[in-house]
Homo-oligomer: A and B are copies of this chain.
Amino acid sequence: MSDFSLHPRLAADSLHIADLPLCQVRLMNDARYAWLVLVPRRDEIREVYDLSADDQARLWQEATALGKALMAAKAGDKLNLATLGNMVPQLHLHVIVRHQGDEAWPGPVWGQGQAVPYEAKQEAAMRDCLRNCLEAGGLA
């Protein structure tokens, strides 16, 4: 494992949840959505294809297993998976559970309205939920 440093904007916008074999799992601090960001713990990576083939496979496996568990836990209507990174060059994968009628539905969530930071109780509940999801996804 090489050193890994998190882009300051990702650090500011999200909360640390867990370190998986490849990715750091972070919760976007926006209670409007169940919205995770997975950041491969490798330096100098901008694109998925900059990762080794093994790491690429691990990225998708971690994202898909966690996304599936979170969809079940939150009774989601659609899972959005996306690497955009036009603002933050460090590779990061968005994993977002969408519900019909959520604030941005059916559009994408980025740039829509203002983030609503978690209150302490909500955050604790979400951390519990995510702990269960990591177990359900075979990632804990």
Contact = CB atoms under 8 A, between A and B. Distances in A.
Contact of A106 (B47, B64, B87): B87
Nearest to A106: B86
A9 to B, nearest CB: 12
A82 B86 CA distance: 13
Interface residues of A, number: 30
A12 B66 CA distance: 33
B80 A47 contact: no
What is the total number of copies of this protein in its complex? 2
A49 B78 contact: no
A108 B79 contact: no
A68 B64 CA distance: 22
A118 to B, nearest CB: 24
Contacts of A57: 57, 60
Contacts of A82: 80-84, 108
Given A80-B86, A108-B110, 13 more contacts: A46-B78, A47-B78, A48-B64, A48-B67, A78-B85, A78-B86, A78-B89, A81-B82, A82-B108, A86-B107, A86-B108, A87-B106, A107-B110
